[in-house]
């Protein structure tokens, strides 16, 4: 917390919610700010501010402009897209979340496999059957009884 927020809490004045403080910070600054900068300015955790900014971007309360920047990562550098946020509107207004469109459910089409022909004992001569014919008969019987 910043010194101002500590003084307000000590005086008994309740702080506004985090999303309102973030939006007011963006509105007061004339240039677009990153989430990390806003977190430092209002004295909040960067992860909390990032979540609030994401929520407000979905609600179209802030405008986001992504820019590719070189950022130090570990011992090296990497190119990352960093969001620069600006407030939308003249005063803070918590807008509703956009409605989700219903997902279209695709029902799979099942095609029935053809039924095997009925086998009769008169058609089968096991004594004179070749090995390939016996294997084919075995496959047909498996389909029939499976």
**pLDDT mean over 104-109:** 77
Q: Is residue 7 within 8 Å of residue 14, measured between CB atoms?
A: no
Residue 124 has pLDDT above 90, yes or no: no
Residue 67, strand partner residues: 82
Q: How far is CA 101 from the centre of its chain?
A: 15
Instruction: Kindly list the structural domains of the chain, giving each domain's residue range(s) and its CATH number in brackets, ordered by start.
Output: 3-87 (1.10.10.10), 112-146 (no CATH)
Cα separation, 54 vs 90, in Å, equals 20
Segment 45-69, tens digit of pLDDT: 999 999 999 999 999 999 999 999 9
Residue with the larger pLDDT of the pair 146 and 96:
96
| Residue 143 pLDDT | 84
Q: Look at residue 87 and tell me whether its pLDDT is greater than 90.
A: yes
Spatial CB neighbours of 93, under 8 Å, sequence gap ≥ 6? 61
Residues 58, 70: Cα–Cα separation, whole Å:
26
């Amino acid at each position: 917390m910043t010194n101002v927020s500590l003084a307000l809490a000590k005086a008994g004045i309740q702080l506004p919610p985090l999303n309102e403080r973030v939006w007011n910070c963006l509105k007061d600054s004339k240039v677009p700010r990153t989430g990390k900068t806003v977190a430092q300015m209002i004295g909040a955790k960067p992860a909390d501010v990032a979540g609030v900014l994401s929520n407000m971007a979905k609600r179209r309360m802030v405008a986001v402009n992504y820019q590719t920047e070189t950022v130090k990562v570990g011992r090296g550098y990497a190119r990352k897209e960093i969001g620069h946020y600006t407030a939308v509107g003249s005063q803070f207004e918590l807008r509703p979340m956009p409605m989700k469109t219903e997902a279209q459910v695709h029902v799979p089409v099942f095609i029935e496999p053809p039924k095997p022909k009925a086998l009769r004992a008169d058609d089968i001569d096991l004594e004179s059957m070749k090995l390939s014919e016996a294997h084919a008969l075995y496959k047909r019987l498996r389909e029939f009884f499976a």
